[in-house]
Structure 1
Amino acid sequence: MRAIRFLAAAAALVGAVAAQAAPLVATNNTFGAFDANSGTRNLVINGQGTVTDVNIRIDFAKCDDPAIGPSDLTCIGTGNAFLSETFFYLLSPNGTRVDLINTGTFSGSQGGRVQIDFDDAAASVVGGSVMSSGSFRGVQSLAAFNGLNAGGTWVLGMGDSVGRDPLSFFSATLSVSAVSEPASLGLVGLSLLGLGAVARRRKA
């Protein structure tokens, strides 16, 4: 019975750890237009723990001249938007980099405003001849951040590699799932106690 009680307590702690894995969220909605240049936006996670999953939603537009403003929903220019010039990447607080979109990831010409959720669980990899809203895997896996410390300043980098077809950035929302270290250590400790109790019972 003692071993069963220990294991039940360990199972309860598993649930507590899972509850603590609720996402930590940071948003940056500082508008910016980039034409043959690049920029960054900071996303500050106020919380600690070991990263178990990272997702990021980016709202942006790639248009033929001119750049559209923060309240615009559609491109003004009707020419070639040269989607291939677009790039985005994400840096963790410790400097680990994951490329989300590289120059050349898209190959089409039709511009527009889109909202992309970068999620390793998505069915398709971002890219192709059409830039559309939806959920996609980035060109590199966000799992590269797993095991790192969640807290601190994450940096979203972005840009347009050639002039006259600007990239407009509207907002980004970073969601980081993390497990706190004390809970993780407690789970390991309690599990070991449970195994010890089982061993003592068998020996007796």
Structure 2
Amino acid sequence: MRFSSIKHAVMCAALALAGAAQAGVVVTDSQYGDSDGIVIARYLDVTRHGTLSGVSISVDFSKCDDPQIGPDGTQCIGQGTPYANEIGMWLTGPDGTTVRLVPVGYYDVNSGGRVTVNFQDAAPVLDTTMQSGTYSLPLDSFSEFAGLDMFGTWTLTLQDTDFGDPLEYFGARLVLSGDGNDGGDPPPAGVPEPGSVAIIGLGLAGLAAVRRKRGRAR
């Protein structure tokens, strides 16, 4: 194998490991539901242990004037103005710690149709207009989860405080980052796969062999 080919293989494996180190534990839900004057909940099960250092969640939802747009809808059908201030959302960790994503009464304008909001710290504060984007929480912070074990059931709760103009839920994506591993569970994301470690080991051995061969040739 040529020296450049070995070097390229080692670099590719190293990049793969770097990507794995930056990845988090990802749990998704796509069970459609609607909240019309009621509270609904979705459960996201994390099967890995690890000390939390970061949390973010994306929620795909809509708030339209009747009728509902349904699981595959994208734009509001009704022509009236829906009351976005009826929306409430919060996230609860396995230990019961809760942060408010959207406090009831916070939204004051509905931009219409289906939106996806990515909630994470270190982003602009959630806009009072209901629209897609990446925002931080207006009143709480995900730092409240820092240091906790990520293992267990996370609960996303959605509320619509009045009847008519239902809040429709399409899905969510929870991303957790952390370190550590307890209880014999699979290692958290970021721990190198054995195959990747082997690739780097072989690559380094190949580099050493090429260098020795070059030294003898001089």
Question: Normalising by the residue count of structure 2, what TM-score does the alignment of the two structures yield?
Answer: 0.71
* Structure 2 equivalent of residue 188 of structure 1: none
Question: Normalising by the residue count of structure 1, what TM-score does the alignment of the two structures yield?
Answer: 0.76
Per-residue deviation at 1:45?
1.1
Which amino acid is the alignment partner of residue 95 of structure 2?
N
CA offsets, 1:14-45, max 9 Å, x none? xx9x9656311111100001111110000111
The answer to whether the aligner puts 1:138 opposite 2:132 as a matched pair is: no
Give matches, 1:27-176, under 5 Å: 27-122=28-123, 124-128=124-128, 130-139=129-138, 140-176=140-176
Evaluate the alpha carbon distance shift between residue 109 and residue 26 of structure 1 in structure 2; reply closer, same or farther with a 3 A threshold. Answer: closer
Provide structure 2 residue ranges, at least 5 long, that are not aligned to the other structure.
1-16, 188-218
Provide structure 1 residue ranges, at least 5 long, that are not aligned to the other structure.
1-15, 184-204
CA offsets, 1:48-69, max 9 Å, x none? 1100000000000011111221
User: Would you say the 8 A contact 1:59–1:169 is kept in 2?
Assistant: yes
Per-residue deviation at 1:71?
0.3
Distance, in Å, in 2 between the alignment partners of 1:95 and 1:167 is: 24
Distance, in Å, in 1 between the alignment partners of 2:104 and 2:54 is: 25
* Greater Rg by CA: 2
Question: How many pairs were matched up?
Answer: 165
Show structure 1 runs of 4+ deviating over 6 A.
none
User: Would you say the 8 A contact 1:24–1:46 is kept in 2?
Assistant: no
Distance, in Å, in 1 between the alignment partners of 2:145 and 2:114 is: 28
Evaluate the alpha carbon distance shift between residue 145 and residue 21 of structure 1 in structure 2; reply closer, same or farther with a 3 A threshold. Answer: farther
User: Would you say the 8 A contact 1:51–1:179 is kept in 2?
Assistant: yes
SS of 1:84 mapped into structure 2: helix
Per-residue deviation at 1:138?
1.5
Distance, in Å, in 2 between the alignment partners of 1:146 and 1:19 is: 21
User: Would you say the 8 A contact 1:90–1:156 is kept in 2?
Assistant: yes
SS of 1:143 mapped into structure 2: helix
SS of 1:153 mapped into structure 2: strand
Evaluate the alpha carbon distance shift between residue 60 and residue 82 of structure 1 in structure 2; reply closer, same or farther with a 3 A threshold. Answer: same
Distance, in Å, in 2 between the alignment partners of 1:113 and 1:84 is: 16
Distance, in Å, in 1 between the alignment partners of 2:164 and 2:112 is: 13
Distance, in Å, in 1 between the alignment partners of 2:20 and 2:179 is: 9
Per-residue deviation at 1:109?
4.4
SS of 2:70 mapped into structure 1: coil
User: Would you say the 8 A contact 2:53–2:178 is kept in 1?
Assistant: yes
SS of 1:144 mapped into structure 2: helix
Which amino acid is the alignment partner of residue 136 of structure 1?
Y
SS of 2:144 mapped into structure 1: helix
